[in-house]
Amino acid sequence: MINAITRRTMLKASAASAALVAAPAISRAQSRTITVTSYGGAYEKFFREELIPIFEKETGGKVALQIGPAKDSIPLLRAAGVENPTIDVCLTNEVIANILRGEGYFTPLTHEKVPNLADVVPLARYDNDVAVLGWVQPIGLAFRTDQVKDPLTSWTDLWSSSELKGKIGMYNITNSLGFMFVLMMSRIYGGSEYQTDAAFRQIAKLRPFNQLDFSGAMEVQLSRGEVIVGPLDFAAVIRLQKRGVPIDGAVMKEGMMMFDQVLNVTKGSKNKDLAFQWVNFIISPAVQQKLVNGFYASPTNRKTEIAPDLTKIPIMIHGDRLNEVVRFDWSAANKNRDMLVERWNREIT
């Protein structure tokens, strides 16, 4: 998950960016070390303890982590420039990757260097293999099973079910999920994701609703019963179920949205071979299985084995069911981001 990027935040490079740029890239090349981005918290722990030791033993290379939210990739790469990046593999969300890809920061993958590409699901593939989805977190409607009695089958149920009125959690558009919700409602009520006028008119009819900034807040409010329904990734729903919260997720007939985790190799990397090996490692069945077991993520490699107790969970989405996940046109959406954020703040907030 990321918070959406506005023009102001895209232009702000942190002090950490400057420090990284100052470090000579040649030293990393000489030592066969790659720097890869990662989220903090549980993901950082997972990478350091579960993945990096195995990768380093198998390849003889070294991996350094650049920890931070997905949006930090923009100032980090822009501060360094295309030819001298301080990141070799950029793990981020497509809304961010699309911006950087358009500015020439990434290089295509090849089947020779990344042979596991042959086994990933269609959702994970990109034209010309410019990137690959490492894993995804499908998104539908999460709801309190002790308070929502009517079956949820469509995104339009948010409007048609009287028991949900005034008890809905909704993301602000500055969160990527909030932005995806606008695009999905544009599809449903306007006939295409580019018809955002229809989405804004419809979303305004949902008020009043609890407006949230990030997924953690949605999880808390659903746990407490402060909201009884809202869009949430199914990995988070399963985590809450494991904690005993009376909650479930519903797959909408119009399709699921997703938090996508995109792997990109930087064009100027001085250790491209090792960077390609890292990508191939992440999408290997063994690592994908670890992601499923550790985070309830949906694997993109078809050959990933999933434990029987997880396959029994209807919202543990994998294999052909990933065909139900929608991919949005982020190139077009990003061009209109600032305008849509301003409109949301004016008409919805």
Assigned domain for 326 exists: no
185 in Cβ contact with 159 (< 8 Å): no
Number of independent structural domains in the chain? 2
Residues 267 and 150 in one domain: no
Instruction: Give which of 5, 153, 12 is closest to 93, Cα–Cα.
Output: 5
40 in Cβ contact with 129 (< 8 Å): no
pLDDT for position 7 = 42
Residues 248 and 163 in one domain: yes
Residues of the chain predicted below pLDDT 50: 1-29
317 in Cβ contact with 138 (< 8 Å): yes
215 in Cβ contact with 172 (< 8 Å): no
Residues 126 and 272 in one domain: yes
pLDDT for position 293 = 96
Instruction: Give which of 25, 34, 27 is closest to 55, Cα–Cα.
Output: 34
pLDDT for position 28 = 47
Residues 339 and 226 in one domain: yes
pLDDT for position 11 = 42
CATH code of residue 234: 3.40.190.10
Residues 66 and 52 in one domain: yes
Phi, psi of 133 (to 5 degrees): -80, 125
Residues 22 and 170 in one domain: no
188 in Cβ contact with 237 (< 8 Å): no
Residue-number span of the structural domain to which 45 is assigned: 7-136+258-319
Residues 156 and 77 in one domain: no
Whole-structure pTM value: 0.89
CB neighbours (10 Å) of residue 169? Answer: 22
Q: What is the torsion angle, in degrees rounded to the nearest 10, for the CA atoms of residue 144, residue 4, residue 40 and residue 124?
A: 80
Residues 128 and 174 in one domain: no
Assigned domain for 1 exists: no
Residues 217 and 304 in one domain: no
At 252 the three-state DSSP class reads: coil
pLDDT for position 185 = 98
Residues 104 and 210 in one domain: no
Q: Which helix (H) or strand (E) holds 346?
A: helix 337-347
Residues 42 and 85 in one domain: yes
